[in-house]
Amino acid sequence: MRRQVPFDKRIVDETIEQLGVPPVKCSIREQKRLVDLLEKKLGVEYIRMEFGIPGLKTDKTAVDAEMEALSGGVISSQYPPFDGNPALKKATADFVKKFLGIQVTPECCVPTVGAMQGGFLAQAVVGRMDAQRPVILFLDPGFPVNKIQNRFLGLKSDAIDFYNKRGSVLVDAVESRFQKGDIGGILYSNPNNPTWITFSEDELKGLGEVMTRYDGIAIEDLAYFGMDFREGYEKPDLPPYPPTIARYTDNYILLISSSKIFSYAGQRIGLAVLSPKLFRWESESLEPFFLTKNAAYAFIHGGIYCTTAGVPQGPQRGLTALLEKANQGDWDYLDVLKTYQDNARLMKKVFLENGFQIVYHEMDGTLRDGFYFTYTYPGLGSNALAREELYYGFSGLSLEKTGAVDAQGFRACVSKVSKDDVETLNYRLQRFHEDHG
Ligand SMILES: Cc1ncc(COP(=O)(O)O)c(C=O)c1O
């Protein structure tokens, strides 16, 4: 039988008190803990949209490759090269050429323990290229962990919320911030977590030119590589290619995660693609931290070596197999992910039909259907909505945690919501709208 909403508000309020963090201030993990507890106490299932985790299984190719490699007992006894196995480096360079249209040598391609480690080390290097420029400029909202990494590294950060700043306005805002002279580089994800907007070729061209003019380095987080499904990025060696700043400047570090595109999050492997220029770029400021003046060697020898000393052999073999399979051209690796697109379409429809609004869209007012979207309910501030949505059985992540300052609202991740759940979501949003409209 369908559970009526709102749920028992007294129990929801008590549980919030017990955890001691107002829902609007909850980090992803705090929100998950809160909703886990509510589900237990109330005996209900929430529509869980707060966590950005893959909802699909890993392709068997990776699992078989790992098992085969490990079964001989040899690779598990050997340290991996800390700049990555040659086969993986080559498969990555081929992948980037075929699916991004960017030419780099295998040397430039370095596996990391998730894009997480890539973001950590990229900031460590970019923030220390010049002692006078330790600030990483975030294009926000963004992936909250990157700012925690920034603090952990003892660097500084500043941010520009792109809510009201797109196109040349965004590029100008970034350039004028560079003019203060303390910015080492920028960091953003594209498609963006949490809003799912995608910076356009024109924006990336403008930003790339700023990087070149001011010797800044762009850390471009492609954790959702190719997952802008409307464009047809699945064909190797054929345009269109996903937008990237690497087309417009030589000053870049690209981060590619296997977690979402290959649903391979558990094995903790990602890829950093360092621009060829970083292998020639020397700076005295790096030496005290990395014992080398060279930017790429700082990342690899000064960074990877002293943090994880490489990526485990099994995941390297698994990811190599996946990339090689995609590179051969007869496997559309993006096809299975289209379930996220379908979910987003259905979920956005029921949100919009029930009085909610999308917060961040593209410059033309549209938003592609993908892993995330953002929502708000007119007339209810984020603080109130954060609590009210828990009464009505759905849970997103407050944008406050992602650096949104110009806009209020919530991030919804679509990956854990099944088509059957959408019916329940619709009922709960209808009730919500009846009671608040
Ligand atoms: C924008 C962004 N970057 C990086 C990551 C982390 O990726 P990985 O699992 O490869 O460490 C995530 C994961 O959610 C993400 O959303």
Q: What is the pLDDT of residues 64-123, one digit of tens each?
A: 999 999 998 889 999 999 999 999 999 999 999 999 999 999 999 999 999 999 999 999
For residue 328, count CB atoms less than 10 angstroms from its CB and return exposed for 0-12, middle for 13-18, buried for 19 or more.
Answer: exposed
Measure the CA–CA gap between 325 and 307, rounded to whole angstroms.
Answer: 30
Of 157, 116, 115, the residue nearest 138 (C-alpha): 157
pLDDT tens track, the chain, 437 positions? 578 999 999 999 999 999 999 999 999 999 999 999 999 999 999 999 999 888 899 999 999 999 999 998 889 999 999 999 999 999 999 999 999 999 999 999 999 999 999 999 999 999 999 999 999 999 999 999 999 999 999 999 999 999 999 999 999 999 999 999 999 999 999 999 999 999 999 999 999 999 999 999 999 999 999 999 878 899 999 999 999 999 999 999 999 999 999 999 999 999 999 999 999 999 999 999 999 999 999 999 999 999 999 999 999 999 999 999 999 998 999 999 999 999 999 999 999 999 999 999 999 999 999 999 999 999 999 999 999 999 999 999 999 989 998 888 999 999 999 988 999 999 999 999 999 98
> Cβ distance 264 to 318 under 8 Å?
yes
According to DSSP, the residues that pair with 218 across neighbouring strands are 186, 252
> Cβ distance 202 to 209 under 8 Å?
no
| 257 Cα–ligand 1 center, Å | 6
Q: Is any ligand 1 atom within 6 A of the Cβ of residue 143?
A: yes
Q: Among 220, 259, 316, 415, which residue has the most ligand 1 atoms within 8 Å of its CB, making it the best to mutate?
A: 259
Q: Is any ligand 1 atom within 6 A of the Cβ of residue 191?
A: no
According to DSSP, the residues that pair with 376 across neighbouring strands are 357
Ligand 1, atom nearest to 260 Cα: 9
Measure the CA–CA gap between 245 and 236, rounded to whole angstroms.
Answer: 19
> Cβ distance 252 to 272 under 8 Å?
no
Measure the CA–CA gap between 322 and 345, rounded to whole angstroms.
Answer: 28
| 378 Cα–ligand 1 center, Å | 30
The domain ranges of the chain are 9-56+337-436, 60-328
| 241 Cα–ligand 1 center, Å | 21
pLDDT of residue 1: 57
Which residue reads 């040349």 in tokens?
168
Structurally, at CATH architecture level, domain 60-328 sits in 3-Layer(aba) Sandwich (3.40)
Beta-strand (E) ranges in 14-128?
47-48, 109-112
pLDDT of residue 74: 81
Q: Is any ligand 1 atom within 6 A of the Cβ of residue 115?
A: yes
Atom 2 (ligand 1): residue with closest C-alpha? Answer: 223
pLDDT of residue 73: 84
Atom 12 (ligand 1): residue with closest C-alpha? Answer: 223
Beta-strand (E) ranges in 46-179?
47-48, 109-112, 135-140, 156-161
Other CB atoms within 10 A of residue 256 CB: 28
Measure the CA–CA gap between 218 and 249, rounded to whole angstroms.
Answer: 9
Of 127, 82, 83, 120, the residue nearest 105 (C-alpha): 83
| 267 Cα–ligand 1 center, Å | 13
Q: Is any ligand 1 atom within 6 A of the Cβ of residue 253?
A: no
Looking at this protein, which amino acid is placed at residue 246? Answer: A
Ligand 1, atom nearest to 257 Cα: 10
Q: Is any ligand 1 atom within 6 A of the Cβ of residue 343?
A: no
Q: Is 82 helix (H, G, I), strand (E, B) or coil?
A: coil
What is the chain's Cα-based Rg?
22
Ligand 1, atom nearest to 270 Cα: 10
Measure the CA–CA gap between 299 and 128, rounded to whole angstroms.
Answer: 11
Residues 6+ apart with CB under 8 A from 334: 226, 227, 229, 233, 234, 261
Which residue reads 């509510």 in tokens?
38
Structurally, at CATH architecture level, domain 9-56+337-436 sits in Alpha-Beta Complex (3.90)
Of 81, 58, 65, the residue nearest 312 (C-alpha): 81
Q: Does residue 191 have a cis bond before it (omega within 30 degrees)?
A: yes
Ligand 1, atom nearest to 258 Cα: 10
pTM of the model: 0.97
